[in-house]
């Protein structure tokens, strides 16, 4: 995890993580030299979190910068991929899961205009052995409290329509996947923590796929989060003046009109039943 890599190995790592062409040179330079102490610490943290269903969300680690996290993620990715494949996870699932690493770099560049990964904390889950992309959605097996019930967090990649058929197919894949991979984990429920569960969205766009997706979840708990709707709709950094943003789609207009009226967008955390495996 800490040595330099030859060109072929480096290229394989960048392909595994689906690193965009514009960012491949910067990533290659990172891998061309030995890992520094900050990167080493990040690597040790990734290794320690492997397979830990109770690992808390990690927002920072003293002495580790965003770029050191990127380097550690790149170095640890082939280690994680080998562990997953050795344990029976198919290469196609590994590829789909790890492709989000490059996607997050792409989204960072779209939002901030340069190299980086401000979502590195989110990407740590991809390298924990507990999160997988299965069809349209991503699923994170975890416990929200020590020795609490098993829960699957449902996450929505930004790369396609959220139509009911795709969601149903993905849930079916996930049900069978988790039953095979974690047979001792009796999953109590799934949850989703997203601005898409703000009821204002479903009320404003009742026929949309987003509203249909949100309707799958109940017992929704809301909390104010004004930035998420802007970030996920427009991919702009905090502090962007809403008046400068386009109103080309019905979703864009809905998001901005609520802000114009003095309202605040919220995040909803909702629950849904986990389907029983047919296995």
Tell me the mean pLDDT in the region 180-197. Answer: 95
Share of the chain above pLDDT 90, in %: 87
Question: Looking at the predicted structure, is the pLDDT value of residue 136 above 50?
Answer: yes
Confidence band (pLDDT; 50, 70, 90) for 279?
A: low
User: What pLDDT was estimated at residue 1?
Assistant: 44
Cα–Cα distance measured from residue 228 to residue 248, given in angstroms and rounded to the nearest whole number: 19
Lookup result for tokens 């039953």:
179
Buried b (16+ CB within 10 A) or exposed e, 100-111: bbbbbbbbbbeb
User: What pLDDT was estimated at residue 160?
Assistant: 86
Q: Kindly state the tokens that stand for 223.
A: 């909390």
Tell me the mean pLDDT in the region 225-248. Answer: 95
Cα–Cα distance measured from residue 258 to residue 168, given in angstroms and rounded to the nearest whole number: 31
φ and ψ at residue 272, rounded to 5 degrees: -145, 155
Q: Which of 215, 208, 221 is nearest to 252 (CA)?
A: 208
Lookup result for tokens 């967008």:
265
- How does pLDDT run across 53-69, given as a tens digit for each residue? 988 889 999 999 999 99
Angle at alpha carbon of residue 55, lines to 162 and 142, rounded to 5°: 45
Tell me the mean pLDDT in the region 204-225. Answer: 97
Tell me the mean pLDDT in the region 111-138. Answer: 97
Confidence band (pLDDT; 50, 70, 90) for 277?
A: confident
User: What pLDDT was estimated at residue 235?
Assistant: 95
Question: Looking at the predicted structure, is the pLDDT value of residue 244 above 80?
Answer: yes
According to CATH, where is 3.40.630.120 located in the chain? 136-279
Question: Looking at the predicted structure, is the pLDDT value of residue 229 above 60?
Answer: yes
Q: Which of 207, 114, 96 is nearest to 155 (CA)?
A: 96
- How does pLDDT run across 28-56, given as a tens digit for each residue? 999 999 999 999 999 999 999 999 998 88
Cα–Cα distance measured from residue 9 to residue 31, given in angstroms and rounded to the nearest whole number: 10
- How does pLDDT run across 97-109, given as a tens digit for each residue? 999 999 999 999 9
User: What pLDDT was estimated at residue 5?
Assistant: 62
Class of domain 136-279: alpha beta
Please, are residues 151 and 187 in contact by the beta-carbon 8 Å criterion? yes
Q: Kindly state the tokens that stand for 239.
A: 């502090």
Comparing 72-81, 115-124, 142-151, 200-209, the range with the smallest average pLDDT is 142-151
Confidence band (pLDDT; 50, 70, 90) for 169?
A: very high
Which DSSP string do the residues of the chain spell out, in sequence order?
A: --S---HHHHHHHHHHTT--HHHHHHHHHHHTS---HHHHHHHHHHHHHTT-TTPPP----TT--HHHHHHHHHHHHHHHHHHHHHTT--HHHHHHHHHHHHHHHHHHHHHHSSS--TTHHHHGGGGTTSEEEETTEEEEEEESSTT--EEEEEE--SSS---HHHHHHHHHHHHHHHHHH-TT--EEEEEEEEGGG-HHHHHHSTTSHHHHHHTT-EEEEEEE-HHHHHHHHH---TT--GGGS---SHHHHHHHHHHHTT---EEEEEEEPPPPP--
Q: Kindly state the tokens that stand for 77.
A: 């990715």
pTM above 0.75, yes or no: yes
The alpha carbon torsion through 44, 142, 157, 274 (nearest 10 deg) reads 160
Tell me the mean pLDDT in the region 168-178. Answer: 97
């Amino acid at each position: 995890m800490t040595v330099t890599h030859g060109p072929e190995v480096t290229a394989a790592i960048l392909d595994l993580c689906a690193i965009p062409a514009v960012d491949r040179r910067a990533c290659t330079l990172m891998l061309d030299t030995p890992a520094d102490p900050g990167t080493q610490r990040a690597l040790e943290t990734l290794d320690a979190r492997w397979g830990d269903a109770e690992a808390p969300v990690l927002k920072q680690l003293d002495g580790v910068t965003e770029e050191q996290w990127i380097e550690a993620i790149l170095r640890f990715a082939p280690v994680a991929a080998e562990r997953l494949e050795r344990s029976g996870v198919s290469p196609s699932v590994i590829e789909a899961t790890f492709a989000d690493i490059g996607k997050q770099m792409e989204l960072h560049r779209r939002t901030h205009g340069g190299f980086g990964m401000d979502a590195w904390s989110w990407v740590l889950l991809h390298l924990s052995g507990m999160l997988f992309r299965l069809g349209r959605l991503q699923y994170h097996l975890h416990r929200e409290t020590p020795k609490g019930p098993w829960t699957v967090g449902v996450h929505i990649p930004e790369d396609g329509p959220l139509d009911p058929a795709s969601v149903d197919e993905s849930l079916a894949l996930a049900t069978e996947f988790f039953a095979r991979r974690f047979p001792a984990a009796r999953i109590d429920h799934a949850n989703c923590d997203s601005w898409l569960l703000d009821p204002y969205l479903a009320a404003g766009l009742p026929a949309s796929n987003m509203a249909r997706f949100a309707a799958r979840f109940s017992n929704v708990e809301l909390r104010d989060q004004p930035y998420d709707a802007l970030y996920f709709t427009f991919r702009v950094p905090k502090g962007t003046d809403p008046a400068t943003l386009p109103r080309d789609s019905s979703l864009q207009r809905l998001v901005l009109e609520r802000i114009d009226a003095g309202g605040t967008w919220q995040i909803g955390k909702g629950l849904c039943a986990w389907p029983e495996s047919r296995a």
